[in-house]
Structure 1
């Protein structure tokens, strides 16, 4: 062995469930047993962007990615690659391509801004983040006036990555202009949308990018306190963030006199109980205040009157992670990526019936077809794609012939495809549209806070009707009633949860009307997976 070798082990929540820490420790043991410690360094890192292939190990500088599922696999890697310099071909992830740059990985079409460090640094090592220009954006921002920072954000046209797409610079400006003795910055890391896991992997793989973005926001708007509101179930993300916050305090990047300036900013983590409605910013604020997580009447809006009645900026994880490189490299650099109305990149969660599931970051305007086939590897087992849900639970369903739709903040108006929270859920031919709709509506019914009757009762009735269809007892009147309820919920629900339910429901009803109507007093589901096709449970 003539050159040092570094082995990066993906330690994210998915990998941990597959035994990543055990396999990493076993690798350490074998390296010591074979006297390789002086030549082989084993480091933890965040997600490489994929899951479902076992625990991933990246061997550098050879740029070889291995998928290991057992101690036997680890032994092969050590005996063959580390000792003899030969690839273990049956463990190689064949389609991995590092691209030689954190901004071009796995494919020359993937551009990494938010995920610039994920999978290449130890997220718990602040020095590694700093070595890759970490906190350069903050240092530059502190040499600018707050107004100049906000103007740079406005020029970049960074729009909130939480789904609404509201201009970030404009939101910050609202808060900055309000006179108040106290202001707050909140990171919405609740991520309660089914199929969405990008924020979790960002926080686990590069927590300092989020922290740096929040400190810059605090300086720009005049806030001295920040909170990261995160789902309590995200154990690894919580641990990663708390560790990163502690390190940032040690290095003078948080607390009194940030980087030796007169600006001070404190940051802490607040755990949520996993309520989907707390993804709505005012319900989130209520939860932080110790109240039941239910939305407030608006106006006033949080930038003017938010946490404890004080001006508050609320952005999500991905939005804050975009801020440091924008300040560091400039608005022009950011606008050169993506589309004119939606600059920059978007991180997508690829899930469902795909060969390669995980996260990918691509320029705004990338088509659904590329996300499914190029980055997702297409549909496994030789099956046929039936539909794709874009944008998450509150997003739209589209058919395969509509997949040329390019996703950005204007795509919904142009093609009916939704950007939303960045979910690409592929569904193959073995699934029934009725049960897909029923499963989705059960989620909304479960997560309704019950504050308003259109959402509380509307979701319940929708689930009842879809259950009747699933059991072959649907009627034309019931089918039409689903549209009537959708219209009522859209026009009169108190918050975005109830108002967004009609979007996925109508899109699947419109595109798969024949499949729903085939369930009218039907002896069996055409696909053969509905409730009335399942054998009855024997009574005791």
Structure 2
């Protein structure tokens, strides 16, 4: 067995790969070999470490030093100074927002030290393509324990008593879903992993598959034993090629080691897993549409009941959980029910992974105990809002969720608390917006997404969301009229009560939540023909400040409509009748003389 004094962990999640982490990795390996340290230092390619905005990033163990925003040319200094001489390269350390000092120990960074990692326990730490490294982190011990020490019913009871709820949507109790399937009659049963993560700004499931695929395979095998299934399917969208590649490698390695296949651990239990790659339709995140797609049919939802636990894949009883839910199963079986149930709140046990995106300093993946407040997540872990801007709202739950304003920042994040505010946990997307964001425009953005992704099977979703979108487009273009708000509310309630599937029923949520908390912005758009955030181009009036205009003429040359006139070295003016509000003049002005009112 090879022994190394240090490991250089290179984040190779999809985000860091897009930031050219592979070039940094190659440069590190090259300089390690040049200095003759290849037998002492090992470079390990890991999954996502979390802080996506800082990539490419590396961690050096056992030192615990975290370097960020690296370039290939930094590799020589890291190798020569840190790995050879033991001197930390200070300039490459992270300096938290508002701090004058750079922090060497990753464990002292607020981003990391405030997290509790269960689902993400291995991402960013192990090589996801090495089954040996997963095993070294207690991998497959839970499966061995389940097969050798417990009955199927005891496994189900453990999942029930842990309080684990589905991490992909409404939060249905996971153990109950397993029990319903186990009790259902069927000559065959199936286990399905829903990895069709489609919410804008969400990438939790992708990162687990890229960084710790064996955790999902082990969990699905445990479920197969518990419900009496011998086959599982992972439905993953084609936009996740890295996740698909690492899953395929993991499945092959697990079969090679006898951890999947026939007679696992010599117990007589057989279980195999196959990958099904979806075309990326948002509606296939709905469980019945997903099952139809696996079967080779058009991905459309069907009425429920019967639920998949009774009639799922090919009409057989089926358990469907999303990636993050599966990742929690092995630790629960291994560490016990009491351990997991001690984390979180009374009705929302364990942790939740969130993808912080939008107007926040520290974007990326974070995992915190249920009950952590929005303020802690956004300001303590996320580092607050960039450029000194004011926090305005956070959108949770993606297109099916809603917006939460500043007054509720101290709300604990759990299923029930979010529901009371008119939003949902969803898969864990958390998009932060600042004072420059128009809430009407934001609602329009999510409705555009839902309308485009609607499967079209039922009229409330197909036609109703189209009508809502047309109203929002009219409002943001300056043509809103009296009664539009009431019409939006009426349409929303009708769609929620009559759409076929959960995606259609929750489609109006972004509109309803913004109406609930930011109704005044809708009223300003409709009544005053003004956008309070200054974001809706059609409602802006461009004006040249005569006190600061130098008369350089650059704005007039840039204007495609010929709306700007004036003599050289004298203040210019904009003709509102000709102005097409493209903003080109404002971008060109060197003196910040062009403002919007």
Q: TM-score range by the shorter chain?
A: over 0.9
Contact persistence 2:422–2:509 (CA under 8 A) = no
Q: Distance in 2 between matches of 1:37 and 1:135?
A: 31
Q: Which residue of 2 aligns with 1:351?
A: 357
Contact persistence 1:372–1:424 (CA under 8 A) = no
Q: Distance in 2 between matches of 1:413 and 1:276?
A: 22
Deviations 1:206-252 (A, max 9, x none): 11111100000000000011000001110111111111011000010
Q: Distance in 2 between matches of 1:29 and 1:83?
A: 14
One of 224, 230, 240 as aligned partner of 2:230: 224
One of 127, 134, 142 as aligned partner of 1:129: 134
One of 221, 240, 244 as aligned partner of 2:246: 240
One of 141, 146, 150 as aligned partner of 2:146: 141
Q: Which residue of 2 aligns with 1:120?
A: 125
Q: Distance in 2 between matches of 1:404 and 1:392?
A: 20
One of 170, 184, 191 as aligned partner of 2:197: 191
Which is worse superposed, 308-317 or 508-517? Answer: 508-517
Note the 1:333-412 alignment, pairs <5 A: 333-412=339-418
Q: Secondary structure at the match of 2:441?
A: helix
Structure 1 pair 132–105 and aligned structure 2 pair: CA distance change class (3 A): farther
Q: Which residue of 1 aligns with 2:46?
A: 45
Note the 1:37-436 alignment, pairs <5 A: 37-94=38-95, 97-99=105-107, 106-143=111-148, 144-416=150-422, 418-436=424-442
Q: Distance in 2 between matches of 1:76 and 1:37?
A: 16
TM (norm. structure 2) is 0.86
Q: Which residue of 1 aligns with 2:551?
A: none
Deviations 1:89-148 (A, max 9, x none): 221124575449xxx995443211111111111111111111111111100100211111
Contact persistence 1:57–1:68 (CA under 8 A) = no
Structure 1 pair 300–242 and aligned structure 2 pair: CA distance change class (3 A): same
Q: Distance in 1 between matches of 2:464 and 2:304?
A: 22
Contact persistence 1:387–1:427 (CA under 8 A) = yes
Q: Which residue of 2 aligns with 1:26?
A: 27
Q: How far off is 1:19 after superposition?
A: 1.0
CA-based RMSD of the aligned residues comes to 1.8
Q: How far off is 1:190 after superposition?
A: 0.2
Q: How far off is 1:54 after superposition?
A: 2.3
Which is worse superposed, 142-151 or 28-37? Answer: 28-37
Q: How far off is 1:437 after superposition?
A: 1.1
Contact persistence 1:472–1:525 (CA under 8 A) = no
Q: Distance in 2 between matches of 1:181 and 1:192?
A: 33
Q: Distance in 2 between matches of 1:469 and 1:228?
A: 42
Q: How far off is 1:431 after superposition?
A: 1.3
Q: Distance in 2 between matches of 1:266 and 1:490?
A: 39
Structure 1 pair 450–414 and aligned structure 2 pair: CA distance change class (3 A): closer
Contact persistence 2:170–2:425 (CA under 8 A) = no
Q: Distance in 1 between matches of 2:65 and 2:391?
A: 31
Q: How far off is 1:76 after superposition?
A: 2.7
Deviations 1:376-420 (A, max 9, x none): 110011111111112222112111111111111211344445322
Which is worse superposed, 106-115 or 427-436? Answer: 106-115
Q: Distance in 2 between matches of 1:55 and 1:126?
A: 25
Matched, 1:452 2:453: no
Q: How far off is 1:525 after superposition?
A: 2.5
Q: Secondary structure at the match of 2:58?
A: strand
Q: Distance in 2 between matches of 1:520 and 1:416?
A: 24
Contact persistence 2:64–2:107 (CA under 8 A) = no
Q: Distance in 2 between matches of 1:68 and 1:412?
A: 35
Q: Secondary structure at the match of 1:451?
A: coil
Deviations 1:3-43 (A, max 9, x none): 92211000111111111112211211111122222222111
Q: Secondary structure at the match of 1:115?
A: coil
Q: Secondary structure at the match of 1:193?
A: coil
Which is worse superposed, 315-324 or 28-37? Answer: 28-37
Which is worse superposed, 470-479 or 182-191? Answer: 470-479
Q: Secondary structure at the match of 2:176?
A: helix
Q: How many residues were matched structurally?
A: 533
Contact persistence 1:476–1:517 (CA under 8 A) = no
Structure 1 pair 331–408 and aligned structure 2 pair: CA distance change class (3 A): same
Q: Secondary structure at the match of 1:410?
A: helix
Q: Secondary structure at the match of 1:427?
A: strand
Q: Distance in 1 between matches of 2:490 and 2:115?
A: 42
Deviations 1:180-229 (A, max 9, x none): 21110000000111111111111111111111000000000000110000
Q: Secondary structure at the match of 1:360?
A: strand
